[in-house]
C-alpha cells in the first residue's frame, strides 16, 4: 500500500509489524480496559488494529485529503471504538471498530471537501460517498436495456436508489461539480486581471445612506424627547422601565415599587403610550406641513 510520505510509511510499517490478536486475547484486553482502565491493555488493543485503521483511511485518498490526516482521523475513530466497546455483546472488536473508523474518516472528508457544508444527514452522507458509483451503475444498466436517461430521470433514479429526496441529489450534484476557488484569484490569466472579489456587490451602507440614517435618527430622538416631556413623572418612569431597558421590568415589580396593582400599572402604561403616539403624530404632521 503506497502512502504519501515518510510519516505514513513509518506508521504503516509499524502497524504491519503489530501482533495479530486471537478472539480470546482480544476479549481479555477489552475487559481489562473496560473494567480496570488498564492503559497497557488499551495500547495493545489499539496497536493491534492500527493496520485496520490505515486500511480504511487509504480507501478515502481519492477525495484529496492528506493521508496523514486521514490516518489521524482513523486512529481517533479506533480510540472511540475502544472506549465504547462492550465485550459482553459477543462481537469481535474489529467488526465493531471498523464502523467508528469509517464514520470518523467520512466526517473528516466531508468537513474538508468544501467551505460550504456538504451535508449532515445520513442520506446526504450516503449520497456524497456513493453518488458517482450509483450513477455509473444506473447508466450501465440503462445502456444494457437500450434505454437513454436524461439528467432529470437519472437524478430521480439516484434518489430512489439511495433513498433520499430528489432535492438532495440536485444539491449534492452541485457540491461535487467542482472545488472551492479563492475570491482573491484573478479573472484573467495575466497579472492585471481583476480579482473575483472586486466583482461582488458592496452591500455596506453608502455615504448618502449613512447621512440620511443619522439625520433621521437624530430627528426621531428629538420627537421621542418631546413626547416623553408630555408625560407625568410616574408615566415617564413606567415607560422607561417597561420599554427602554434591555431587560424590561414586569408589571408586578413596578406595582410593588409604586404601591399600585399590576392592572393599574398596565392602564397607566397604555395611557402613556397613547399620549406619546399622539405627540409623535402631531410632530410628523407639523414637519410635513413645513416641508410641503
Asked whether residue 200 is domain-assigned, the answer is no
Among residues 62, 173, 171, 162, the alpha carbon closest in space to that of 109 is found at 62
Report the number of distinct structural domains present in the chain: 3
Report if pTM > 0.75: no
| 97 within some domain | yes
Confirm whether 126 is domain-assigned.
yes
Do 77 and 16 belong together in one domain?
Answer: yes
The boundaries of the domain holding residue 234 are 207-291
What's the pLDDT score for residue 206?
57
84-117: pLDDT as tens digits:
999 999 899 999 999 999 888 888 887 776 544 4
Residue 184 resides in a domain: no
Q: What is the pLDDT of residue 100?
A: 93
Looking up cell 472506549 gives 83
At which of 113, 137, 154 does a domain end?
A: 113
| Whether residue 129 sits in one domain with residue 165 | yes
Name the CA dihedral angle for 265, 270, 271, 277, rounded to a multiple of 10 degrees. 150
Domain boundary among 87, 113, 139: 113
Q: Is residue 104 part of a domain?
A: yes
Residue 189 lies inside a defined structural domain of this protein: no
Residue 185: inside a domain: no
Please tell me whether residues 71 and 165 are part of one structural domain: no
Residues 164 and 239 in one domain: no
Q: Of the residues 63, 83, 113, which one is the last residue of a structural domain?
A: 113
What is the pLDDT at residue 288?
62
pLDDT in tens, 267-290: 999 998 888 888 878 877 765 665
180 vs 167: CA distance, rounded Å: 21
Q: Is the pLDDT of residue 172 over 70?
A: yes
Query: Is residue 201 within 8 Å of 209, Cβ to Cβ?
Result: no
Q: Residue 125: name the closest of 139, 138, 113 by CA.
A: 113
Q: What is the CATH number of the domain that holds 63?
A: 1.20.120.1810
Give per-residue pLDDT as tens, 217-240: 777 788 888 888 888 999 999 989
Confidence of residue 2 (pLDDT cuts 50, 70, 90): very low
As a whole number of angstroms, the distance between CA 36 and CA 58 comes to 34
pLDDT in tens, 108-131: 887 776 544 455 566 677 777 777
Looking at the structure, do residues 14 and 109 belong to the same domain, yes or no? yes
Domain annotation covers residue 62: yes
The verdict on 12 and 109 lying in the same domain is: yes
CATH code assigned at 287: 1.10.10.10
Please, which pLDDT band fits residue 187 given cuts at 50, 70 and 90? low
Q: Are residues 265 and 229 in the same domain?
A: yes
* Residue 186, strand partner residues: 195
Partnered with residue 195 across adjacent β-strands are 186
Amino acid at each position: 500500500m503506497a502512502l504519501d510520505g515518510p510519516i505514513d510509511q513509518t506508521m504503516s510499517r509499524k502497524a504491519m509489524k503489530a501482533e495479530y490478536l486471537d478472539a480470546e486475547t482480544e476479549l481479555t484486553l477489552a475487559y481489562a480496559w473496560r473494567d480496570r482502565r488498564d492503559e497497557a491493555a488499551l495500547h495493545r488493543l489499539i496497536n493491534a488494529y492500527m493496520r485496520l485503521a490505515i486500511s480504511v483511511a487509504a480507501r478515502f485518498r481519492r477525495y484529496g485529503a492528506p493521508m496523514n490526516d486521514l490516518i489521524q482521523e482513523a486512529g481517533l475513530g479506533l480510540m472511540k471504538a475502544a472506549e465504547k466497546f462492550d465485550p459482553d455483546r459477543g462481537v469481535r472488536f474489529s467488526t465493531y471498530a471498523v464502523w467508528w473508523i469509517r464514520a470518523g474518516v467520512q466526517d473528516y472528508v466531508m468537513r474538508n471537501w468544501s467551505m460550504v457544508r456538504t451535508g449532515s444527514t445520513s442520506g446526504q452522507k450516503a449520497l456524497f460517498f456513493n453518488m458517482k458509483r450509483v450513477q455509473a451503475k444506473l447508466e450501465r444498466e440503462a445502456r444494457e436495456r437500450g434505454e437513454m436517461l436524461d439528467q432529470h430521470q437519472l437524478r430521480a433514479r439516484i434518489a430512489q436508489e439511495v433513498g433520499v429526496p430528489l432535492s438532495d441529489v440536485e444539491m449534492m450534484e452541485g457540491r461535487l461539480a467542482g472545488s472551492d476557488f479563492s475570491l482573491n484569484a484573478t479573472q484573467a490569466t495575466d497579472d492585471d486581471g481583476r480579482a473575483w472579489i472586486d466583482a461582488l456587490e458592496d452591500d455596506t451602507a453608502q455615504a448618502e445612506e449613512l447621512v440620511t440614517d443619522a439625520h433621521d435618527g437624530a430627528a426621531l430622538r428629538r420627537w421621542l424627547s418631546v413626547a416623553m416631556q408630555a408625560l407625568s413623572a410616574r408615566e415617564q418612569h413606567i415607560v422607561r422601565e417597561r420599554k427602554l431597558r434591555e431587560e424590561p421590568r414586569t408589571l408586578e415589580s413596578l406595582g410593588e415599587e409604586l404601591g399600585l396593582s399590576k392592572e393599574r400599572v398596565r392602564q397607566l402604561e397604555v395611557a402613556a403610550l397613547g399620549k406619546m403616539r399622539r405627540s409623535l403624530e402631531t410632530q410628523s404632521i407639523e414637519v410635513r406641513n413645513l416641508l410641503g
